[in-house]
Amino acid sequence: MLLLQFTSNSIPFLCFLLLLPIMTISSDSSVYDVLLAHGLPMGLLPKGVTQFEIDEGGRFQVYLDQACNAKFESELHYDRNVSGTLSYGRIGALSGISAQELFLWFPVKGIRVDVPSSGIIYFDVGVVFKQFSLSLFETPPDCTAATPAAQADVGGGGGRLIVDTVSKSKSGKLRYGLDQEQHFGRGFE
């Protein structure tokens, strides 16, 4: 049986060991260094980060100089403020990033790297996970300023409104059809 004995000399060493994970992210680290330290590519965030904060629980806030768009296999929109919870190989509770699919914008709710050797990264856009090559995110992309019209489409209406409207119209047809079936005993189209 191994018996550990703590002395007053060993307490500072134990405190050092407990604080080592927190100390690896120093105040001098850039947000890109923090992403790399968490097993994520630094190109997940664009150039133009003016400030970032991270707490012990991994909750972070990133501030960009302006809302902007970056092109990968599809286009990503970054709000001026991006936040989420960082853990090794993933970002959860993400807000401030949207991905375009065809002509619709979907909020990215989370990002995770598959086994790093697979070279795959997944973006959770609600109903599906978009799969990208990890190599697309090796360096921070240049980000072009989002025009006010584009910001309205991404953040406050436009494509998002279309997604919500389509969803509501489908549920409305289903509700109407179920009411018809209950009252008249028929199916619906």
What backbone torsions phi and psi does residue 40 show, to the nearest 5 degrees?
-115, 150
User: Would the pTM count as exceeding 0.75?
Assistant: no
Give me the mean pLDDT over the 51-75 stretch.
95
Three-state DSSP state, 162 = helix
Do residues 63 and 70 touch, judged by C-beta distance below 8 A?
A: no
Quickly list H helices, 54-157. 148-151
157 vs 31, which has greater pLDDT? 31
Q: Using one digit for the tens of pLDDT, what is the confidence trace for 79-118?
A: 999 999 999 999 999 999 999 988 899 999 999 998 878 9
Domains along the sequence of the chain with CATH: 20-146 (2.30.240)
| Least confident piece of the model among 8-17, 51-60, 67-76, 140-149 | 8-17
| pLDDT above 80 for 161 | no
CB within 8 Å of 64: residues ≥ 6 apart = 46, 48, 49, 50, 78, 79, 80, 81, 82, 143
pLDDT of residue 128: 87
CB within 8 Å of 115: residues ≥ 6 apart = none
